[in-house]
Amino acid sequence: MTVEPDAQTTATGVISLRGATLGYGDRILWSGLDLDVTPGEFVVVLGPNGSGKTSLLRVLLGLQPLTAGTVRIVDAPPGRGNRRIGYIPQQRAMEESLVMRGRDLVGLGLDGHRWGVGLRGMRARRARVDAALAEVAAGGFADAPVGRLSGGEQQRLRVAQALVSDPEVLLCDEPLLSLDLANQQVVSSLIDRRRRTAGTAVLFVTHEINPVLPLVDRVLYLVDGRFRIGAPDEVMTTETLSELYRARVDVVRVGGQIHVVGAQPGLCEQPHHLHDEEPS
């Protein structure tokens, strides 16, 4: 076997998409997407509802095949068995009756995918879980039922759950949704610390860039099949977004924050009120 020309892969990208296209039936979510995320990079994925932000994460997790193009994540095609990816889902209220403590939630992030009962290596497991809990300062409530904890506490446990397996890539799906401002800062600074100390690449899907704006290296903005990739200053401009939305959109910067104002209603298929919560 000869080694194929290396145009399709780069040595540095822990996430690498080439000509990636995803569609359902006639509807194309995005096409021709090229993206390389390097270790330690913080990339935010923005876009209106239904633009395929969460679908991109599903592709990277191997839950959704691409319609065309190639995708590699941590030197392998996505799919089952890639244990070098951490995943933080949206914060959803957990049932109060859930038979699980914070400690169990984190432990499942470490070895919940393995077969067997898991009685071997209990001590080493406990040490790693304790360390992950300490990282997010969750030791104080680790033994309480998760359903009784606040949203912020639950989401800190989610961060510990994603990081306990020492991932090289962290995929986050609106992890700050429905958190108050203080908890948004706690959770995003935990994620930021991780990528600075361990070089974990972060792909962060959100509808609201401002809570993480100081951390962002690059933005991937998806609108109705079109997209733009670049630094926040390049992408989050009136010109670029108006081009993407194919309608007049004003980008206003107020006190270090970015606000996107649609000049006309009904710019795209769905209203792009960026502050709306995206249904799952």
Partner 1 sequence: MDQLFDFDSTIALLSFPAVRTALVAGAILGLLAGVLGPLIVSRNMAFAVHGTSELSLTGGAAALLLGINVGHGALAGAVVAALVLGLLSRRSSEHDSVIGAVLAFGLGVGVLLLWFYPGRASNKFGLLVGQIVSVEFASLALLGGCAIGVLAVLAVIYRPLLFASVDPEVARARGVPTGTLSLVFAVLVGVATALGVQTVGALLVLSLMITPAAAAVRITANPLRATVLAVVFAEVSAVGGILLSLAPGAPVSAFVTAISFLIFLVCWTISLVRGRSRGVATAAVAVPAVPR
The CA radius of gyration of the chain, in Å to the nearest whole number, is: 19
**Which positions ≥6 away from 55 have C-beta within 8 Å?**
22, 29, 64
The minimum distance between CB 92 and partner 1, in angstroms, equals: 8
Question: Residue 207: exposed, middle, or buried by beta-carbon count in 10 A (0-12, 13-18, 19+)?
Answer: buried
Closer to partner 1 by CB, 172 or 223: give it: 172
Q: Rounded to a whole number, what is the largest CA-CA distance in the chain?
A: 61
State in angstroms the smallest separation of the CB of 61 from partner 1.
Answer: 5
| Shortest separation between residue 65's beta carbon and partner 1, angstroms | 15
56: nearest Cα among 191, 185, 229, 212: 229
* Contact residues: partner 1, CB under 8 A: 61-63, 79-83, 85, 87, 89, 97-101, 104-105, 108-109, 111-118, 144-147, 158, 161, 171
As measured in angstroms, the least distance from the Cβ of 95 to partner 1 is 9
Residue 151 CB, nearest distance to partner 1 (Å)? 16
The total number of residues shown for the chain amounts to: 280
Distance CA 213, CA 91 (A): 20
- Is the Cβ of residue 102 or residue 262 nearer to partner 1 in the bound state? 102
Which of 205, 249 has the CB closer to partner 1?
205
CA distances, 264 to each of 118, 249, 261, 272, 273 (Å) = 57, 8, 9, 10, 11
CA distance 149 to 43: 30
The closest alpha carbon to 109, from 170, 151, 67, belongs to: 170
210: helix, strand or coil: helix
Whichever of 101 and 228 has its CB closer to partner 1, that residue is 101
**Smaller CB separation from partner 1, 11 or 99:** 99
Structure tokens at 91: 């914060």
Find the shortest distance in angstroms from Cβ 56 to partner 1: 13
Measured from the CB atom, the residue of 7 and 122 that comes closer to partner 1 is 122
- The least CB distance from residue 150 to partner 1, in Å, is 13
Residue 6 is given by DSSP the state G
Of the pair 114, 275, the CB lying nearest partner 1 is at 114
DSSP one-letter code for 230? E
Q: Are 30 and 220 in contact (CB under 8 A)?
A: no
